[in-house]
């Protein structure tokens, strides 16, 4: 079978590009002697994750459902990298009793106390990382924040509570806003130094904090030093996307994911092609809107994945895409009805989340496999 025979829209994964992207990050991290703990929220697929590391290797997840799915497929060393709340602890317990070696994350005294009580009551031993905010991007406590030590104290004595402080975690998500290699390098160093500093403060206060976990795809690719870091997390590096291309982390040709769609109509006076891939197929993510080159809802390629002279998906309805020449509507080629196109996504995680499977190709249009992915919580 080939892509020509599929009913569109379809999520297409180029396995060759994906494997090249994986090899690139593994090769980059090898000299640093750190563990890669891939964030599997991007791919949500055992088939894809097994190309990064065999079952049993460490993974990071963003939902407990993801943890359950990967546990069922043999990955039991799982970091749940979203702050834990008491209401999710029964789910955590279920996963642990099924054999998951879960590490949890938190950044406040309330969650630490609740976890300590819960572990003690159930005689469960749970490793915990404290989330550190190294760039103001999202959650976490600042490396110098006095509450860092309060959180560690609230976890209590492992011998008594079972909650074990294992170290610190940070995610330099502000790297997505960087505009140069130098800026990403600087942020990578800020991420590293902040996480290491927080771990040192914990150790100086008498806590064990062996794990220093950092990462985002840009900082993982641009870090010059990882001194003091024990593991790196990255997710979107597997597929890459237009946002990563816009900040200079990859080239257009590295993007392994695209949405196959069909030209279903024309609006000649406006220079529009109408396709059957709307925001349901691409997601609403407009991550390149803030970048120097706005790619609309995606960059349009031919069936072989070759970009078509500045055709972009300028707008999206639920099941309709509007494709036009980026600068000059009159320059839009009126491709025949039925033409198959492939649209590169702004944000691979968001676009992939709209689909239940990957149609896998190896460079060309011949279908090599169909890999399922899961969704929901």
Overall size of the chain counted in residues: 377
Considering only 9-17, 120-128, 235-243, 293-301, which stretch makes contact with ligand PLP by CB under 6 A? 235-243
- Binding-site member from 235, 246, 298, 321 for ligand PLP (CB under 6 A): 235
Phi, psi of 234 (to 5 degrees): -155, 150
Size of the site for ligand PLP (CB under 6 A): 13
Question: Which element (helix H / strand E) includes 225?
Answer: none
Look up tokens 């509007």; give the residue. Answer: 322
Chosen residue from 234, 263, 335, 352 binding ligand PLP by CB under 6 A? 234
Q: Which is nearer to ligand PLP, 103 or 217 (CB)?
A: 217
- Cis peptide leading into residue 9 (ω within 30°): yes
Site map (CB under 6 A) of ligand PLP, residues 204-233, x = contact? -----------xxx---------------x
Is residue 347 a contact residue for ligand PLP (CB under 6 A)? no
Would you call 257 exposed, middle or buried from its count of C-beta atoms within 10 A (0-12, 13-18, 19+)?
buried
CB 237, min distance to ligand PLP, A: 6
Tokens of 153: 């104290």
If the CB atoms of residues 42 and 262 are measured against ligand PLP, the closer one turns out to be 42
Smallest distance from ligand PLP to CB 131, Å: 8
Listed residue (355, 275, 353) closest to 308, CA to CA: 275
Q: What mask of x and - would describe binding to ligand PLP in positions 51 to 90, judged by CB under 6 A?
A: ---------x--------------------x---------
How far is it, in rounded angstroms, from Cα 162 to Cα 165? 10
According to DSSP, the β-strands at 307-316 and 321-325 are: antiparallel
Closest approach of Cβ 215 to ligand PLP, in Å? 5
Q: Are the CB atoms for 227 and 220 separated by under 8 Å?
A: no
209 vs 352 by CB, closer to ligand PLP? 352
Q: Which of 178, 202, 236, 322 binds ligand PLP (CB under 6 A)?
A: 236
Q: Among candidates 76, 80, 49, which has minimal Cα distance to 64? A: 80
Sign of CA dihedral 86, 92, 97, 103: negative
- 237 binds ligand PLP per the rule CB under 6 A: yes
Instruction: Establish if 190 lies at the interface with ligand PLP (CB under 6 A).
Output: no
What is the nearest approach in angstroms of ligand PLP to the Cβ of residue 220?
7
Per CB under 6 A, contacts with ligand PLP among 159-178 are 171
The torsion angles phi and psi of 153, rounded to 5 degrees, stand at -65, -35
Closest residue to ligand PLP, judged by C-beta, is: 217
Neighbours of 107 (CB within 10 A): 22
Binding site for ligand PLP (CB under 6 A): 39, 42, 60, 81, 171, 215-217, 233-237
């Amino acid at each position: 079978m080939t892509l020509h025979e599929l009913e569109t829209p379809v999520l297409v994964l180029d396995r060759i590009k994906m494997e090249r992207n994986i090899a690139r990050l593994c090769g980059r991290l090898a000299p640093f002697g750190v563990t890669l703990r891939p964030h599997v929220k991007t791919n949500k697929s055992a088939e894809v994750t097994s190309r990064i590391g065999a079952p049993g290797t460490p993974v990071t997840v963003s939902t407990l459902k993801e943890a359950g799915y990967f546990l069922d497929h043999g990955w039991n060393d799982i970091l749940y990298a979203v702050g834990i709340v008491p209401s999710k602890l029964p789910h955590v317990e279920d996963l642990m009793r099924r054999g998951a070696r879960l590490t949890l994350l938190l950044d406040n005294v309330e969650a630490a106390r609740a976890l300590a009580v819960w572990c003690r009551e159930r005689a469960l031993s749970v490793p915990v990382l404290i989330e550190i905010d190294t760039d103001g991007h999202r959650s976490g406590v600042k490396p110098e924040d006095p509450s860092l030590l309060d959180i560690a104290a609230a976890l209590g004595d492992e011998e008594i509570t079972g909650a074990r402080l294992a170290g610190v975690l940070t995610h330099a998500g502000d790297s997505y806003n960087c505009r140069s290699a130098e800026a990403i390098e600087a942020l990578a160093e800020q991420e590293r130094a902040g996480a290491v500093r927080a771990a040192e403060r914990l150790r100086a206060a008498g806590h064990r904090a062996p794990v220093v976990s950092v990462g985002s795809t840009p900082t993982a690719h641009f870090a010059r030093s990882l001194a003091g870091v024990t593991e790196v997390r990255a997710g979107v590096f597997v597929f890459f996307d237009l946002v990563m291309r816009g900040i200079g982390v990859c080239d257009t040709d590295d993007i392994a994911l695209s949405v196959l769609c069909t030209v279903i109509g024309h609006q000649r006076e406006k220079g529009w092609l109408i396709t059957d891939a709307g925001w349901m197929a691409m997601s609403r993510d407009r991550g390149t809107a803030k970048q120097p080159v706005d790619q609309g809802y995606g960059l349009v390629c031919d069936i072989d994945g070759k970009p078509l002279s500045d055709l972009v998906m300028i707008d999206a309805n639920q099941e309709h895409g509007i494709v036009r020449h980026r600068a000059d509507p009159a320059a839009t080629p009126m491709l025949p009805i039925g033409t198959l196109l492939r649209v590169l996504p702004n944000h691979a995680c968001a676009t992939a989340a709209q689909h239940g499977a990957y149609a896998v190709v190896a460079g060309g249009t011949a279908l090599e496999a169909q890999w399922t992915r899961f969704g929901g919580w």
